[in-house]
Amino acid sequence: MPANKQPVYTGIGNAQPALSEELFKATEAIYRQNFELSVKNRTLRVLRSLYTVSLKDENIAETAQHITDILCDEMSYQFALLSVVQTENQTVGAVAINQNRVLKEILKSHHLAVQDTIFSLKNQEAVMVQVLAANTPQTLTSLFPLFSPFLPENACVQIEHSLDIRTLFVYPLVYAGRPLGVLAIGIGNDSEQFSDVEKESMVQLIDVVKITLERSNLQRSLQEANNRMKDLDKLKDEFVTLASHELRTPMTAIRGSLSTILEGYAGEISPSVREFLVAAYNENDRLIRLVNNLLNISRIEAGRINFAMTKVDISAVIQEVVSNLDSAAKEKNLTLIYDKKSDVGHVRADCDKVKEVLINIVGNAVKFTHKGGVTVRAAVDGNFIVISITDTGSGISNSDQELLFKKFSQVQGNYAKQSGGTGLGLYICKIMVEGMGGKIWLDSTLGVGSTFHFTLPIFHEGKV
C-alpha cells in the first residue's frame, strides 16, 4: 500500500507551498482588515470627540487646541498644527499645536510662540498660503518649509527627530469656497506607507475640523455682532439722556421766566400780552412733558426702570395730585374732587411712580373734559385698592379704547386734535402700574364720559 501512500504524501508535499501562500495571503488580508477596522474604529471615536468639541462654546484658540490634542492623542499622529485664516488682516496664522513637552521646550528655546507663525495671504512662498490658494494638500518630508522663516532649520530637524516625524500632510481647510485655515499632520511613516484607509479617515476628520472651525467662526461673529449691538444701545441711551438734559435745561428756564412774569414778579402786563405768554407757557409745558415721556420710554425699553416699593398712603397721594391739578380744572370751570368715602389704607408701591400715573390720568381727564368735572375714588377690592378716575368728557370709542394703552397711540380720532398730548402717557402708565403688580383699564361711553381704573396691591406689614 506504500504505492498508495506515496501520491498522497507527495500531494501534500506539492500542495504545501500553495497552501502556505494562501494561508499567508489570508493572514495578511485578516491583518489588513483588522488594521483597517481599527483605523475606522479610531476614526469614529475621534470624530465623536471632535463633534463634542464643536458643540462647546469656546473661542477659536481653545477649540483649535482641543482639535490638535485629540488628533495626536487619539489618532496617534506625531504632530498636529492648526492655522486659521483671519479675513480682516488677510493672514493665515497658527493658533494651536499639539501639547507635547519636548516640542514645547524646543519652541521655547527658540523663543517662538507658535501663534507668532503668521503669514500674509499674499506671501506665495509660504506653504500654508500655497495650499490654500490651490485648495490642494501638500506632502512634506520636513517641517522647515512650514515654519520658515519663523523657526531655523536646525530647530525643525530637532523637532522631527524628537517627535519621530517622517512625513507631513498639509491640508487646506476650505468650507463653502471660503478658506478657513490649514491643518498640518505629522506621521512617523513615509507617505507611501500611509494606507488608503488612513487617508480616507484623514479626509473624514478634515471635514469635521472644517465644520468645527466654521461653527467657531460663526459663534465669534455672532458674539461680535451682539457686542456691537450692546455698544450701540448704550450709545443710544447715553444720547437720549444727554439730549434730554440739554432740552430740559432751556425748557425749564423758559418755564421759570414765563411763570415769573405771569405771576407778577416782573411788574404789570397787559391782558393781551398775558394771553400770548400763557400760550407760550402751555406749549413749553407740553414740550417738557414730551421730553419726560421720551426719556421714560427710553429707560423702560432699556430695562432700566426700577421700582422702589414702599408703604404708600394712597389717599394722601391722591389728595396731593388733586390739589396740584386744581388750578387747571378751575381754569376750565370744571370740578375736580377726591370723593373720599372711607380710609382705604396703604398700598405697596413706588410713590413717585404712583404720582406720575395719577398726574397723567387725572391730567388727561381734565384736559379732555369741557363740561362737568372729574372725580377720583379709591376702594378696596380683595388684595388690591382700585383707584378710579371718572370724567364727564366725550367718551372714547371701543376701537380707540384698544389703542389707548399702546405706544404713540392717541393720534386717533378727535382725542388727539384737542389734546396736545404725546400719545405716550398711558403707555407709560400701563408699564408702571403693571410693574408695581397692578392692572389698568377703562370703561367709557361715547357722549357720557370715561372712567379709568388702576389697581395697586394692598400693603401688608412685613411683606415689602
For other proteins, the closer CB: 50 or 366 = 366
CB-based contact 126:85 (threshold 8 Å): no
For other proteins, the closer CB: 359 or 386 = 359
CA triplet 417, 422, 426: central angle to 5 degrees? 105
For other proteins, the closer CB: 112 or 294 = 294
Q: How many CB atoms lie within 10 A of CB 117?
A: 22
CB of residue 459 to other proteins, shortest distance in Å: 21
CB-based contact 456:307 (threshold 8 Å): no
CB-based contact 251:287 (threshold 8 Å): yes
CB-based contact 443:451 (threshold 8 Å): yes
CB of residue 422 to other proteins, shortest distance in Å: 14
Whole-number Cα distances in Å, 234 to 87, 225, 294, 301, 307: 28, 14, 16, 12, 21
How big, in percent rounded to 5, are the helix, strand and coil portions of the chain?
A: 55, 20, 25
CB of residue 145 to other proteins, shortest distance in Å: 60
CB of residue 326 to other proteins, shortest distance in Å: 13
CB of residue 292 to other proteins, shortest distance in Å: 6
Task: Please state, in angstroms and rounded to a whole number, the distance separating the CA atoms of residues 371 and 337.
Answer: 14
Can you spell out the DSSP letters for 21-66? HHHHHHHHHHHHHHHHHHHHHHHHHHHHHHHHHHHS---HHHHHHH
CB of residue 303 to other proteins, shortest distance in Å: 12
For other proteins, the closer CB: 14 or 249 = 249
For other proteins, the closer CB: 57 or 238 = 238
For other proteins, the closer CB: 184 or 336 = 336
Sign of the torsion formed by the C-alpha atoms of 435, 460, 314 and 383: positive
CB of residue 304 to other proteins, shortest distance in Å: 7
CB of residue 114 to other proteins, shortest distance in Å: 46
For other proteins, the closer CB: 34 or 323 = 323
Task: Please state, in angstroms and rounded to a whole number, the distance separating the CA atoms of residues 255 and 387.
Answer: 31
Q: Which residues bind other proteins (CB under 8 A)?
A: 241, 244-245, 248-249, 251-253, 255-257, 259-260, 263, 265-266, 288, 291-292, 295-296, 304-306
Task: Please state, in angstroms and rounded to a whole number, the distance separating the CA atoms of residues 84 and 256.
Answer: 64
In the numeric block, which cell numbers belong to residue 403? Answer: 389703542
Between 60-75 and 196-262, two packed helices, what is the crossing angle to 10 degrees? 160
CA triplet 101, 185, 43: central angle to 5 degrees? 100
For other proteins, the closer CB: 211 or 295 = 295
CB of residue 259 to other proteins, shortest distance in Å: 5
CB of residue 260 to other proteins, shortest distance in Å: 5
For other proteins, the closer CB: 15 or 266 = 266
Closest CA to 106 of 53, 160, 65: 160
For other proteins, the closer CB: 39 or 261 = 261
CB-based contact 432:406 (threshold 8 Å): no
Can you spell out the DSSP letters for 365-428? HHHH--SSEEEEEEEEETTEEEEEEEE-S----HHHHHHTTSTT---SHHHHHHH---S-HHHH
CB of residue 218 to other proteins, shortest distance in Å: 36
In the numeric block, which cell numbers belong to residue 410? Answer: 392717541
For other proteins, the closer CB: 311 or 355 = 355
In the numeric block, which cell numbers belong to residue 450? Answer: 370715561
